[in-house]
């Protein structure tokens, strides 16, 4: 899943981070695996926007067999407060 802006009765708030779901097929069933990246895991030292919260969109994960590790990439935006 992606981090997102949540509209509530008291205004806008932002999710805690990116959640992970797994399935053996695209048709499901899907299992919630937990939070894999939180707001504090994002460091924006090289970006023009440095203030949190951030919005993570369209995260993708693949397994790199050669390195034996998972790789995640995503689109990052600054939240509009």
Task: Report the predicted TM-score, pTM, of the whole model to 2 decimal places.
Answer: 0.58
- Mean pLDDT in residue range 12-20: 70
Which residues of 1-81 form beta strands (DSSP E)?
A: 5-8, 11-14, 17-22, 31-38, 54-64, 69-78
Q: Confidence class of residue 52 from pLDDT cuts 50, 70 and 90? A: low
Distances from the Cα of 59 to the Cα of 49, 56, 63, angstroms: 19, 7, 14
Q: Are 14 and 4 in contact (CB under 8 A)?
A: yes
């Amino acid at each position: 899943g992606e981090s997102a802006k949540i509209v509530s009765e008291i205004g806008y708030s932002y999710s805690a981070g990116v959640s992970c779901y797994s399935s053996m097929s695209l048709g499901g069933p899907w299992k919630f695996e937990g939070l894999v990246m939180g707001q504090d895991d994002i460091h924006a030292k090289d970006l023009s926007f440095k203030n949190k919260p951030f919005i993570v969109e369209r995260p993708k994960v693949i397994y790199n067999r050669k390195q034996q590790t998972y790789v995640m990439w995503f689109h990052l935006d600054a939240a509009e407060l």
